[in-house]
């Protein structure tokens, strides 16, 4: 009998390892349990295990990273399609494409501006902290 409480498991069980991809690919524990074909109570119990939670987070982070890389690679293709659309004989398509490009460029400028402002704020906060 362990008087210090349950000890954390250092590795996942085969059942947990099998269920993880299904759980990681859903947005709710309920849907994850259904897809992994496990009980919600079992999943909630697993979520109390540090190793299980950290592996679930690692899988979700990896999936998000892969999706981001894929989106970045599709950006070039998308820009080339927009470029071709600007030469399309249809004035409606050219105008729509031009509006889309302008909107994207403006959003990009706004994001750059926000980053610059955040950098200034970070610098100011650092200087104030050093002065204290």
The reported pLDDT for the residue numbered 132 is 85
The verdict on pTM exceeding 0.75 is no
Return the domain boundaries, the chain. 1-73, 86-132
Determine the Cα–Cα distance for residues 49 and 6; give it in Å rounded to an integer: 10
The reported pLDDT for the residue numbered 37 is 96
Query: Minimal CA–CA distance to 15: which of 45, 26, 7?
Result: 45
Q: What is the sign, positive or negative, of the torsion defined by CA atoms of 84, 88, 91, 96?
A: negative
pLDDT along the chain (132 residues), means of 10: 42 95 94 96 96 96 94 91 94 94 92 94 93 88
Which three-class secondary structure state does DSSP give residue 12?
A: coil
The reported pLDDT for the residue numbered 43 is 96
């Amino acid at each position: 009998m362990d008087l210090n409480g349950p000890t954390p498991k250092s590795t996942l069980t085969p059942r947990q390892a099998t269920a993880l991809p299904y759980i990681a690919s859903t947005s709710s524990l309920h849907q994850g349990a259904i897809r992994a074909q496990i009980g919600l109570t079992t999943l909630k119990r697993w979520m109390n295990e540090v190793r299980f939670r950290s592996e679930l987070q690692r899988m979700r982070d990896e999936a998000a990273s892969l999706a981001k890389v894929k989106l970045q690679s599709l950006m070039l293709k998308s820009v080339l399609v927009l470029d071709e659309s600007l030469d399309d004989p249809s004035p409606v398509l050219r105008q729509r494409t031009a509006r889309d490009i302008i909107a994207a460029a403006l959003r990009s400028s706004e994001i750059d501006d926000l980053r610059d402002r955040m950098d200034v704020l970070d610098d100011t906060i650092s200087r104030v902290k050093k002065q204290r």
